[in-house]
Structure 1
Amino acid sequence: MTMGGGEISQLETLALDSFICSQTGKRRPKALFIPTASGDADGYCKTFKHVYADRLGCEVDFLLLAGSGCTHQQIQQKIISADLVYVGGGNTQKMLSIWHERGVVPALRQAAQNGTVLSGLSAGAICWYEAGLSDLERFTAEPGADWRLRRVDALGFVPGIFCPHLDKEQRHAPLLELVRSSGERALACDNGAGVYWDNGIAQVLTSLPDAYAYLYTEQAGEVSVERFGPGQHLPL
């Protein structure tokens, strides 16, 4: 499940979170939260535990990599033993760099092959695609300085470019230009919308009213944008 955004602390994604848990087929799923993109923010971890453990009944664990002495074997064990993996938002590029350095990616691939449910929000959604439209410059820009959204390579577990927060952060124009210039196909989600992939089929789910997913496709220099609501399948 790749989610466009929403405040988990305000339960804006609760319906999507509940769906993620249901897809494990377990009464008390083992949920692994990976908050690398936020620098392993303690408050984020507490919020995740409140939602996934207290409200949804999961057995929650954390993979903390920022300054962590976690061994390669421990990383592998945490990921492979999870019923679901949830990746939090933040700095996409920094997160992926740490993952590659620490051997996280092969473990995630193995987990996917084993049937673990992979999920995430914002940066934690971008990571599963071939690329994303990211605000990574926001994290390094000087206060008050201009920065721009740009393409960042990701893991390629599912095809295309992913763009989160379409409705909240005015990302339509830069995404349109990226698709026009690259010819790549892109999926975008409003806050409160997500795309669930199952055997190559992508279905839209939502947790907020008037939340949608969008498909951007380039042909002969023109970009078409199609909107999809809850329950609809994307023609991929």
Structure 2
Amino acid sequence: MKIITIGGGEISELETLELDYFICQQTGKAKPKALFIPTASGDADGYCRTFQNIYGERLGCKVDFLLATKSNFSQQDAMQQILSADLVYIGGGNTQKMLSIWRDYGIDVALRQAAQNGTVLSGLSAGAICWYDAGLSDSDRFTASEGTSWSLKRLEALGFVAGVFCPHLDKEQRHEPLLNLVRASRERSIACDNGAAIFWENGVARVLTSLPNAYAYIYSEQFGEVRVDRFSSGDRLPL
């Protein structure tokens, strides 16, 4: 199973281009079939155009889209799209809403089967959280009324890889909330800055980066304290 989980970065501004190229390489295909699933963004048109520009025009993929929130969505077609793709990329946005829609339509089951068949799985932010046991999610931000406070929270995900994942560590003040989560739950957590990613292959995790000074981290509880270890591009995580 190959999974690439990206902590963040603007795909349209080429901040993740090295990671995007790496994702395509992992398929072993010269012109891979890339399936974009932007459920977390409500299947935003602009996001789809950006993905086509990067993965289609720049990286040479044959791009398809699974639009689970659109009126012409077909569950049967979605299953076929997922199982025929060489790589699946999940976009960012509302993780909780995305996972709920996937479970309603069996998309989560199809993704697991695709992974077992050798499809490369990938994604950014919500699209990275989804593959782990759980994530530190900002999903409540999308439903909070204007002026109403909301908090980052632990959100159960698909469990394809072990641990809790936290994206955007360097950009969205997530360090303290993640410390509190690990201290309370004693769960080992993995965090990534924007421009950093974790490449999982057959249970082994390695750090990739596309921006300078981007790192990955492991937060672990030890004797009532939380230890934070930082890892650079190319490092293997001791998991």
Q: TM-score, normalised by structure 1?
A: 0.99
1:40-92 CA-to-partner distances (Å, cap 9, x unmatched) read 00000000000000000000000001133322221110000000000000000
Match of 2:198 in 1: 195
**1:159 counterpart SS class:** strand
Matches within 5 A, 1:31-180: 31-180=34-183
- For residue 218 of structure 1, what is the aligned residue in structure 2? 221
SS at match of 2:132: coil
Identity %: 71
Instruction: State the Cα deviation string for residues 85-117 of structure 1 (Å, max 9, x = none).
Output: 000000000000000001101110110000100
CA distance in 1, matches of 2:109, 2:180: 33
TM-superposed deviation, 1:143: 1.1
Deviation at 1:220, TM superposition (A): 1.9
- The equivalent residue for 1:232 is 235
Deviations along 1:212-235, one digit per CA (max 9) or x if unpaired, are 000001122111000000000000
**What is the one-letter code of the residue matched to 1:70?**
F
CA distance in 2: counterparts of 1:68 and 1:3, whole angstroms = 30
The CA distance in 2 between the partners of 1:68 and 1:129, in whole Å, is: 29
List gaps (5 residues or longer) in structure 1: none
TM-score, normalised with respect to structure 2: 0.98
Moved more, 67-76 or 162-171: 67-76
Residue of structure 1 in register with 2:22 after alignment: 19
Q: Give 3-state SS (helix, strand or coil) of 1:24's partner.
A: coil
Distance 1:131 1:116 in 2: 22
Ranges in structure 2 where 5+ consecutive residues have no aligned partner: none
For residues 73 and 9 of structure 1, what CA distance do their matches in structure 2 show?
31
Q: What SS does the corresponding residue of 2:161 show, helix, strand or coil?
A: coil
The one-letter amino acid of 1:203's match is: R
Aligned residues: 236
Matches of 1:147 and 1:29 in 2, distance apart?
40
Structure 1 runs (4+) deviating above 3 angstroms are none
Secondary structure in 2 matching 1:188: strand
In structure 2, how many angstroms separate the alpha carbons of the residues matched to 1:47 and 1:73? Answer: 26
Q: Which amino acid aligns with 1:169?
A: E
Computed over aligned residues only, the root mean square deviation of the Cα atoms, in angstroms, reads 0.6
